A and B are shown apart, each in its own frame.
Chain A
Amino acid sequence: MPTSTQTQSADQPALRTSDVFIYLVMGIFFGVVLILSEVVSWFRIQEMFRFQSFHMYGIIGSAVAVAAVSIQLLKRMNATTIRGEPIKIKDKPWNKGTNQLIGGTVFGLGWGLLGACPGPIYALIGAGITPVIVGLLAALLGALTYGHLKPNLPH
């Protein structure tokens, strides 16, 4: 187990208290929106994959549009974080797209079954759909399995 103290200076903890507050509030806000817009609904995911409503496409599409315009604005203005640190958006690792295509397809198979991607999994548990706790444990097992098989999988 690597020690975390070696990689950080003493005056910079892994997470500042003020940041904990920011992430918690943003998470709560996101969770509320996910439920009230029914993004977490298994039925909505079915409706999306059956192309029977614009709802999910409208949400994802407008979210992407708003985020894309925001990112372009931040870049053009050379915006920094509120602490004055430069904002860097890392490129996703790219080889031949093999892992994105296979991994994405595997994810999609599960998304259709569980009707929830990782964010909604947490929101559904909070909403009291307790069997989804088993789904989260299975997702953790999936991530664990991937971590062990990674050296042997095409990427």
Chain B
Amino acid sequence: MELMSTSWPWYVAGPIIGLMVPALLLLTGKAFGISSSLKHTCAATLPTKAEYFQYDWRASGLWNLVFVAGILIGGVLAVQVFGGGGPTGISDATQTDLRALGLTDFSGLVPPELFSWSALSTPAGFVAIVLGGFLVGFGARYAGGCTSGHAIMGLASLQLPSLIAVIGFFIGGLTTTYLLLPLIL
């Protein structure tokens, strides 16, 4: 099965993403970061009394919610207009490893064995989507940032807390890859 990936190369995508940082700073003075949108959404929609959510979300977070709404629209355009979302051009080694775990369909951005509505009710799909999502939200807010706020913005502005967080990202990610995934798949 020959599946052609049309992925943009790293040396095009990476610098473009990097330029988002000065663009945001120059245009509006905001620091690049996405996971705070989770906090703002909770503060905006839920009647919670926790001190963490008692702040003026409109003043500090509305921009972030507009930004992530844009990312969602960008996802629509990338697939519907620019033909993205096809087979991922991963290495043969990764395909071999994943086949050994029972994941054999590489025709999209995600493995359908885990990311489909029918898979959601299987133990593996539930763990990947629900537990995975929960840990992403909990961990990002606990760490004070995610890949954008810590790995890109934080490392680029030479912040030690961000380096510690990124080390944590990899401790967790490697644990999932080599211990958790073989357990659930």
Give the interface of A toward B (CB within 8 A).
Answer: 2, 4, 7-8, 14-15, 19-20, 22-50, 52-68, 70-71, 73-74, 79, 81-82, 85, 87-94, 97, 99-119, 121-132, 134-148, 150-151, 153
Total interface residues in chain B, CB < 8 Å: 135
A61 proximity list for chain B (CB < 8 A): 14
Q: Which of B24, B76, B145 has the most CB of A within 10 A?
A: B76
B180 touches A112 (CB 8 A): yes
Check if A15 sits within 8 Å of B62, measured CB to CB.
yes
**CB under 8 Å from chain A, chain B span 123-141:** 125, 127-141
Tell me if B's interface is mostly helix, strand, loop or mixed: helix
Q: Decide yes or no: A100 and B147 within 8 Å by CB, A52-B93, A87-B26, A138-B132 being known contacts.
A: no
Could you list which residues of chain B lie within 8 angstroms of chain A, going by C-beta atoms? Answer: 5-29, 31-32, 34-35, 37-39, 41-42, 46, 48, 50-56, 58-59, 62-63, 66-79, 82, 84-85, 88-91, 93-94, 97-98, 106, 108-111, 114-117, 119-120, 125, 127-148, 150-162, 164-177, 180-181
CB atoms of A58 and B11 under 8 A apart: yes
**Residue of B whose beta carbon sits closest to that of A35:** B78
Q: CA A122 – CA B146 in complex, angstroms?
A: 14
